[in-house]
Structure 1
Amino acid sequence: MRTYTREIDVESPTDVLVIGSGPSGLAAAVAAAREGMTVRLVEQYGYLGGNLTGALVGPCMTSFSLDGKTQLIRGIFDEFVRTMESLGGAVHPSHTVGGSPFAGFMTYGHEAVTPFDPEVAKRVALEMALDAGVELMLHSMMVDSVVENGRVAGAVVAHKGGMSFLPATVTVDASGDGDVAARARAEFRYGRESDGTVQPMTLFFRVRDVDDEAVAAYQAEHPEERFPFESLVEKAHRDGTYSLPRRGVQLFKTLEPGVWRVNTTRVTGVDGTDVHDLTRAEVEARRQVLDLLDFFRAELPGMGSSRLLDTAATIGVRETRRIVGTYEITLDDLVQARAFEDVVTVAGYPVDIHSPTSKDGPFDDDIPTTANVYEIPYGALVPAEVDGLLVAGRCISGTHEALAAIRVMPPAFALGQAAGTAAAQAARGGIAPRDVDVRALQERLLEAGAYLGERLARDRSML
C-alpha cells in the first residue's frame, strides 16, 4: 500500500472566518466586513446561499410577528429581499400579510412569507458579499478546527488543491451542523430528549405545468383542510397507495405561473452528520420524488399534467447538533416571551416540528403556541467553554422544541448578522466573543437596521 503525504498550506490570517454561506453565514460575513474587518467566507458549493439556494428551500417563512402586524427580521435580511424584489426575483413579505397565494396551500397562519427566485438569490448573495469586501473561498469544505489553549484559531479546509489552514482571530460556525464547534470539542446536544432522534430530512423539488386555478379552486372548496390535499392523502394512506409519512402535500406557489415548490419528501431515522446516512437519505428522497409525481398526476386536482422541473442540489437537513451555549433557549422562553438583557434577535415563527418517527407535523396541536414576539439572547450564540468562536443558524444553543421555531431562514439571517457584528467587535478589541460589550453590540445592530423589539426601540438611551 502506498502512503501519500502533503503539507497543509497556510493562508493569510483574517480577522473573521465564517464557515458556511447559508442565510446565517452570509449575513455574518457581510456584517463583519461592513464593520471594517477582513473576512473570509468558506462555502462547499460553487455559489452562496446554502439551503436558500442549493436546497431550493422556500419561500422564506415569516419574518413578522405571529399576528402579522410587525416586521421583526430586518437589517441584512430586509436589504437582501428588497434587492431581489428590485430585480423581479422576490415579493417582500409586507405584501403577503393577511393572505397570499405565495403563502402556500396551507391554513396554519404564517402568511407573511417571502417567495423568491433561487437564481436571483444566488446573484444578490454574491453581490452583497463582494460589495462588502468579503473574500470568498468556494468549493471548499471545512474538515477540522484548530484549537490553541482552548481558543479556536481557525479551521482546516479541503479543496481541489489539497488542504489549507485558515487562521482567524474569531471564527463563526454557520455550518448548520455545528461542525467547527464539534471538532473543537465544544459540548453539544443531539435530538429530542425522549429518544435522541432528530427531525426528518426533506429534498425540495419544483414542478411545472400546474393548473394554478384548479389548485386554488380545490383550496377554496376545502377550507377545513389544515394541510394541502389532506383528505386525498389520508384516503390514499387507507387504500395503501401512499406510503410517505406525511399528512398532506406541502406546496408553495412560486413567482412563475404553473410552477410550485414541493416540500413533501420525508426521510426519517437519518443523521445529517454521518456521510452514509446522508447518502442513504439522498437516494431515498429522490426515489420519493418519482413516487410523488405519479401520485400528483393520478390523484391531485390541477396536477394531472404536472412535470418535474428540477430537484434541489442537496437534501435539506432540519436538525443535527445544537451547541451548548452560555444560555440554552427553551420552549418556555418562546411561549412566555421571556425578556433577555442580551437580546440580539426577535422572531415570531411558531414551533415547526416534523416528527422524527411518524407522519405528524408540522404545527401539531399538542405543541404550545409561541408568544406573538419572542427574544433570542446573545448567550445562545456563545459556546459555553470554547473561546474564539460564535455559532449562528440552526446549530445555536436551544432545546429540540425551541430549535423547531428558530431554525428557519429569516431568524437565521438575524442571528448571522448578530454573530458577524459581535465577531467584528471581538476581533477589533482583541477579546473573546463572550466578553463583547452586549450593549454596544445591540446599539450597532440597531444602527445597521436590525430590530430588537419594542423594549429597546422605545428607549435606546438604556443602551
Structure 2
Amino acid sequence: MSSRTPRRTYSRELPEAAPVDVLVVGSGPSGLGAALAAARNGASVRLVERFGFLGGNLTAGLVGPCMTSFSLDGQTQLVRGVFDEFVRRMAEVGGAVHPSETRSGSPYSGFMVYGHEAVTPFDPEAAKSVAVEMCQEAGVELLLHTFVVDTLTEGRQVTGVVVANKSGPSVLPATTVIDCTGDGDIAAWSGAGFDMGREGDGQTQPMTLFFRVSEVDDEEVRAYQRAHPEERFPFQGLVERAREEGAFRLPRRGVQLFKTLEPGVWRINTTRVLGLDGTDATDLTTGELTARRQVTELLRFFHEWLPGMGNCKLLDTAATIGVRETRRVRGEHLLTLEELTSGHAFEDTVAVAGYPVDIHSPTGPEGPFDDGIPPTANVYEIPYRTLVPRDLDNVLLSGRCVSATHEALAAIRVMPPSFAMGEAAGTAAALALRQGVDPRAVDVPALQRQLLDQGAYLGPRFESARLGG
C-alpha cells in the first residue's frame, strides 16, 4: 500500500498462547530443518504454517526435484543431516529417489547437465506425511492454517508475533524467533534493514507456477532429447521455431520439465511472470492469474508441438505461485558471488553447498545458467553471520531471506541449502538458550561441533579436523 492509502487505527486485546523457547515461522525446507533441529536439541518449539500441511515449496509449491545436494562435480554429498534423513524416509515408502542414485542429463534432472548432477525426485504427498511424522516424533508443536500478520518488539528483541486464523487473532510469544518465511517478513516487520532485487534497478527474479501433467509418452520425450543433444534446454528448438512462426509466444527459451516417480507424469517449470513484488498481495494475485493463463497456453503448445505430449493432461497446479526472490535481510555478513566462486573459507561456516548461480532474468526469457556469470567453486561455504540479522538480537534467518547479494542468493536459495541453513539456525537457537545468550552471541565452534555430531557436513577442512586429520 502507498503512503497515501487511507489509515484507520484499530486496537483490541488479544489472547496470548503459552510461550515457547523457539518459534519457527514457515514450514518449508528451512522451517523443517530449523524446527527439527531446535526440538531435537531440547528446545520447546512451535512451528507456524499458513497452509493445512507442511513443506512450503516442497508441497504447496509443487517444486521439484530438489536441486543438487552434492558438490558441483557430483562427487560429494554436501547437504546431509536433516535433509538426508528426510529424503531417506521418503525413499523408504517409495516417495523419493536418493540423490546418489540420479545423474545429470536424465529425465529426473530435466535432461539438464550443468548443476543438475544428483537431484532428488520426490512425491509431494510423501513429503507432507514424512514432514509431519518427523516433527511429531521430535515434539514440535504444529499450528497450521495460520498467518503471521505482525510482530511485537522491545528494542532489538522480538517478544512474539501476532497471528490470525479461524480462531481469530492471537499472540504467540517466544524467546527466539526463526524467520523461515522466505520473504523475511518477521525481520522486516520488526525493523530490520533489507534489500530487494538486483543492484541498479531493484528487479527480482520472476515468479513461476509449477504444474504437473500426466499421460505423457515418456519414451517419445526421451527419444527427442537423444536426437537433439545440442539443445541447452529441453525442446529449445521447437520453442524457437514456434516463436519465429508466430504460433506461440512462450515465456521461456525451452520447456523445463522433470520426470516424476510415476510413469507418464512430469513436473513443468515453464510459466514465468515478470516485474512483480512477492511481498505485495495485489502483485501476488496478478501473478497467480497470469501464470494460470500461461498454463492453459502451454498445454495447447504441448498438444500441438511437443513429441510425447500430444495427449498429456493437466494433473494439477501448485497451491501457490513460486516466488524466487524478495527481501534479503541485512545480516552480520553479506554473502557475495566472489565468495561462492572462490570457495572462500569462513571461520563460522555452518553449511556448504555446490549448486551454481541460477538467476532467471527479471526482465526477459533468459536463464538459468546464462553466460557471463562465473561458475561457483565445487564446494562453497555459508557462514553463520548470514543467518544473523544486523538489527535484531533474538531472531535468526534461513532460506532465501538470508543476507546475500542478488547473485549469491540465486545459488543458495534452492531447497537443499535451505534445509542446511534451517538446521544450523535451529541448532543455534537451542544452543543459545542453553548458553543463556542471544543467538548472535552463540559459541560458534560449539555450534559447529553440534552440527557435525548430528550428521551435518561442513566441508573437507572440518571433516579432516573431526576425524583427527
TM-score w.r.t. the length of structure 1 is 0.98
The 5 Å alignment of 1:61-210 reads 61-97=67-103, 99-210=105-216
3-state SS of paired residue (2:170): strand
Matched, 1:307 2:313: yes
Tell me, yes or no, if structure 1 residue 385 matches structure 2 residue 391: yes
Q: Partner amino acid for 1:184? A: S
Aligned to 1:54: 60
Taking the TM superposition and a 5 Å limit, the aligned residue runs for 1:246-265 are 246-265=252-271
CA contact (8 A) 2:239 2:250 kept: no
Q: Secondary structure at the match of 1:459?
A: helix
- Cα distance, 1:106 vs structure 2: 2.2
Change (3 A) 1:183 1:109: closer
1:156 counterpart letter in structure 2: V
C-alpha distance in structure 2 between counterparts of 1:428 and 1:210, whole Å: 54
How far residue 6 of structure 1 moved from its aligned partner, in angstroms, is: 4.3
Residues 185-244 of structure 1 show CA distances to partners (whole Å, capped at 9, x for unaligned) of 100010000210000000000000000000000000000000010011011112222223
1:418 aligns with 2:415: no
2:206 equivalent to 1:228: no
Query: Cα deviations across residues 65-118 of structure 1 (Å, max 9, x unaligned)?
Result: 000000000000000000000000000000014553311132334121000000
Question: Which residues in structure 2 correspond to 1:348-359 (within 5 Å)?
Answer: 348-359=354-365
What SS is found at the alignment partner of 1:237? helix
Contact 1:170 1:426 in 2 (8 A): no
Partner of 1:272: 278
Question: Contact 1:232–1:299 (CA<8 Å) still a contact in 2?
Answer: yes
- Alignment partner of 1:397 is 2:403: yes
Distance across 2 between alignment mates of 1:459 and 1:4: 57
The DSSP-based 3-state class of the residue aligned with 1:308 is: strand
Check the 8 A contact 1:60/1:409 in 2, yes or no: yes
CA distance in 2, matches of 1:313, 1:432: 36
**Following TM superposition, by how much is the alpha carbon of 1:462 offset from its aligned partner in structure 2, in angstroms?**
8.9
Q: How many Å apart are 1:177 and its aligned residue?
A: 0.2
Matched-pair contact (CA < 8 Å) for 1:99–1:112? no
User: 2:73·2:117 contact (CA, 8 Å) conserved in 1?
Assistant: no
Q: Contact (CA 8 Å) 2:344, 2:381: kept in 1 or not?
A: yes
Looking at structure 1, the residues matched to 175 and 115 of structure 2 have their Cα atoms a distance apart, in angstroms, of 43
Give yes or no for the alignment of 1:42 onto 2:37: no
Q: Show the counterpart of 2:342.
A: 336
Task: Name the counterpart of 1:292.
Answer: 298
Residue aligned with 1:403, SS: helix
Distance 2:9 2:360 in 1: 46
2:36 & 2:102 partners in 1: Cα distance? 27
Moved more, 156-165 or 308-317: 156-165
Q: Which amino acid aligns with 1:239?
A: E
Q: For 1:162 and 1:5, locate their aligned partners in 2 and report how far apart those are by CA, in whole Å.
A: 14
Which range moves more in the overlay, 405-414 or 147-156?
A: 147-156
Choose which of 431, 445, 448 in structure 2 pairs with 1:442.
448
State the AA in 1 paired with 2:210.
F
User: Which whole-Å CA distance do the structure 1 matches of 2:439 and 2:60 have between them?
Assistant: 30
Tell me the C-alpha RMSD between the 2 structures: 1.5
Cα drift, residue 428 of structure 1: 2.4
Q: Distance in 2 between matches of 1:261 and 1:98?
A: 16
Structure-2-length-normalised TM-score: 0.97
- Matched position secondary structure for 1:206: strand
Of residues 107-116 and 223-232 in structure 1, the stretch that sits farther from structure 2 once superposed is 107-116
Q: Secondary structure at the match of 2:77?
A: coil
> 2:71 aligns to what SS in structure 1?
coil
Deviations 1:368-419, CA, capped at 9 Å, x for gaps = 1000000000000000121110000010000000000000000000000000
Give, in whole Å, the separation in 1 of the partners of 2:174 and 2:11.
Answer: 25
Answer yes or no: is 1:459 the counterpart of 2:452: no
Shift of 1:429: 2.3
State whether residues 281 and 315 of structure 1, in contact with CA within 8 Å, keep that contact through their aligned partners in structure 2: yes
Listed as ranges, the gaps of 5+ residues in structure 1 are: none
CA distance in 2, matches of 1:321, 1:5: 28
Q: Does 1:364 pair with 2:370?
A: yes
For 1:230 and 1:270, locate their aligned partners in 2 and report how far apart those are by CA, in whole Å.
26
Q: 1:208 to 1:98 in 2, by over 3 A?
A: closer
Structure 2 residue aligned with 1:241, among 234, 237, 247?
247
Aligned to 1:216: 222
Given that residues 107 and 227 in structure 1 are in contact (C-alpha distance below 8 angstroms), is that contact kept between their aligned partners in structure 2? no
Q: Which residue of 2 aligns with 1:9?
A: 15
Determine the C-alpha separation between the residues in 1 that align with 2:431 and 2:194. 25
Is residue 380–residue 396 contact of structure 1 (8 Å, CA) maintained in 2? yes
Identity fraction in percent: 67
On the 8 A contact 2:354/2:377 being kept in 1, the answer is yes
> What is residue 3 of structure 2 aligned with on the other side?
none
CA shift, 1:163, in A, is 1.0
How many residue pairs end up in the alignment?
Answer: 462
